[in-house]
Amino acid sequence: MDITLLDKVILFPLIFLAGFVDSIAGGGGLISLPAYLFIGLPSHYALATNKLSSSIGTTISTLRYAKGKAIIFEIGIFSVVFSFLGSFLGARLALILSDNILKVVLAILIPLAAVFIMFRKPIKYKEQRISHIKKIVFSSLIGFIIGMYDGFFGPGTGTFLIILYVSILSLDHVKASGTAKIVNLASNISALITFIIGGKVFFSIGLPAAFFGIAGNWVGSGLALKNGSKIIKPIMIIVLILLFIKILSDIIF
């Protein structure tokens, strides 16, 4: 399909906003994925192209956490391996579904993920000892399940990983975030490879969009807004409502 100049004018600022939101409050994928759907990309191409731009952003974030020694490899390595496998299966499932069915599924998942991420209560860190065997089992299960979710859909993956690492594996929030990044990177790469093989990645729009996402992350991190999440949530709600109305209109009409 042809991407017009108007499409780019609409898309790139939304991808920038997604990166900006993600750097402050998380959940940027809830804007970037609907943005691709908004400009008319078929569901498979929207998922695949969004995975391309998000993979680049996640790579940079992962390197930052690795430099700060915030990644727990004892847990991360097992999650990485199984998230890679789970993401492959999730992406394959997405490719099997027809575009119409996938569009309906996305129209259901997007608002559900948005409500959960924007209105969830903060989780409290509680230190507890966990045996080595339990760490292996739980980190593997977490990686596989969330990896499959990421391959099939994606938005909120990092948030879900952090919640599970803090609540089940007793990691503090910084180490949970760092470990989640490397696992998210693995699932992103797995899904991206699967979508590339399936011929669904729109490189001509995904690569420039990725740079706008990176710029949004950089600006958001640099501002370090006080009460940033309180400012971001109303913006996310407005943008999501507008994008969701457009997606529903495409499905109905």
**Structure-token match 């069915």, residue found:** 101
**Entry field: residues in the chain:** 253
Q: Is the dihedral of CA 53, 54, 55, 56 positive or negative?
A: positive
Q: How far apart are the first and last CA of the chain?
A: 20
CB-based burial label for 149 (10 Å; 0-12, 13-18, 19+)? buried
How far, in Å, are 1, 142, 147, 187, 205 from residue 78 at the CA level?
A: 40, 9, 12, 12, 34
Query: For residues 62 and 147, which has the higher predicted lDDT (pLDDT)?
Result: 147
Q: In this prediction, what percent of the chain has a pLDDT beyond 70? A: 86
pLDDT tens figures, 185-226:
999 999 999 999 999 999 999 999 999 988 887 877 666 445
CB contact at 8 A, 16 and 212 = yes
Rounded to two decimals, what is the model's pTM? 0.84
Q: What is the pLDDT of residue 194?
A: 97
- Reduce the secondary structure of the chain to three states and give it as a string: CCCCHHHHHHHHHHHHHHHHHHHHCCCCHHHHHHHHHHCCCCHHHHHHHHHHHHHHHHHHHHHHHHHCCCCCHHHHHHHHHHHHHHHHHHHHHHHHCCHHHHHHHHHHHHHHHHHHHHHCCCCCCCCCCCCHHHHHHHHHHHHHHHHHHHHHCCCCHHHHHHHHHHHCCCCCHHHHHHHHHHHHHHHHHHHHHHHHHCCCCCHHHHHHHHHHHHHHHHHHHHHCCCCHHHHHHHHHHHHHHHHHHHHHHHHHC
Report d(CA 10, CA 235) in Å as an integer. Answer: 16
pLDDT tens figures, 134-182:
899 999 999 999 999 999 998 888 888 988 998 898 888 778 888 888 9
Report d(CA 21, CA 232) in Å as an integer. Answer: 6
Residue 40 has pLDDT above 60, yes or no: yes
